[in-house]
Amino acid sequence: MPSTSPAAARSQHGRSVVFVDGVRTPFGRARKDGLYAHTRADDLAVRTVRELLRRHPQLPPERVDDVALAATTQQGDQGLTLGRTVAMLAGLPPTVPGFAIDRMCAGAMTAVTTTSAAIGVGAQDVTIAGGVEHMGHHPMGFDAEPNPRFLAERLVAPDALNMGVTAENLHDRFPELTKERADAYGVASQERYAAALASGRIEPDLVPVALRDPERGWGLATADEPPRPGTTLAAVADLPTPFRPGGRVTAATSAPLTDGAASCLLAAEDVAEELGLPVRMRLVSFAYAGVEPEVMGLGPVPATRRALERAGLTIDDVGLVEINEAFAVQVLSFLDAFGIADDDPRVNPYGGAIAVGHPLASSGVRLMTQLARQFAERPDVRYGLTTMCVGLGQGGTVVWENPHFTGEEAAR
């Protein structure tokens, strides 16, 4: 039994914080002919913020206390303090402030936990948090100048700054994480996404985006571009290994380079009740942790252990897991660490980033939005978590409670 109940933990640390709603753009492939090749990154983020306001007209815009938006590469159309500029472009009153965040892949997750902390201590009541990444315009690490001391003083391994190589390093460190297991997981991600799409579980969280192409004219993005339905084990078995000759990481076991944005609405639970806002999840705890940068994919393991400990829970209390699939081997390392089977139905039931894509800083809110929808479908599940690895050797995890839970404890 947990030594400290999550409800007791919340009462000790401040107000209850709730996830009201989350939306995202369809995700596009980051290439010259991709969905958003001629669309600005900040306009993608604006579209998600406007959609949140449209879906919840009972929320007076001036009641939004802050807007936190993340991007990994903060330059060009992803620069200039995104939270503030996007808030203004989305039509929020000039009295609403905003700021930008960077924790690479966990940018949107950090936007959520940072503003949730402000709500929890009573400094704010309602916030918008999210992230955007246009990897077609801003490839990861483009124009970055890592300090030469990192290598000269051996602070990190020479290959620690290449995420694909860090995935190969996981295969090296844990021989039981075989290519065959990774291939099977990658195919399963595509299958789960396809099933979720066919059953109507993906589209409700998407906001259409108007497109303009100088050659093809106007269009409308309504569906994700990266998924490859019908992928088979035979088709992926002999794919090239771009990060190492004779390696084990392939395009089928990696998240594709992606463009997209996601945002969510957060509130104190009493304020949500006052304004008539829905409560889709309650935040229980969160944690971030560091690992050796050369095995970046292990980050979710210590982060999850820390978040569960803070919540007074164990992995056995968790009924749903949304883990970002940067690489299949990274997910498998997490599953093995917690004794979870590769095909456990609790894990990414709608598929994951290997299928849908990973627009770096925005992915954390995609995970949360999907978990919220799963909570509504699964009143038998009380706790879920969203977790992800982070470049340069970090991990982040947020533990959530299902407000729809109808189990024995809720009845009592």
Task: List the catalytic residues.
Answer: 105, 358, 389
Contact 280, 403 (CB under 8 A): yes
Q: How many C-beta atoms surround the C-beta of residue 77 within 10 A?
A: 19
Could you identify the residue written with the tokens 């460190």? 173
The interaxial angle of helices 82-89 and 41-55, nearest 10 deg, is 60
30 CB-near residues (< 8 Å, 6+ apart): 134, 135, 136, 139, 256, 257, 258, 259
Q: What residues contact 254, with CB distance under 8 A and at least 6 apart?
A: 164, 167, 326, 327, 328, 354
273: number of CA atoms within 13 Å, CB side? 5
CA distances (Å), 355 to each of 227, 231, 256, 331, in order? Answer: 5, 10, 8, 14
Q: Are 186 and 179 in contact (CB under 8 A)?
A: no
Q: How many residues does the chain have?
A: 412
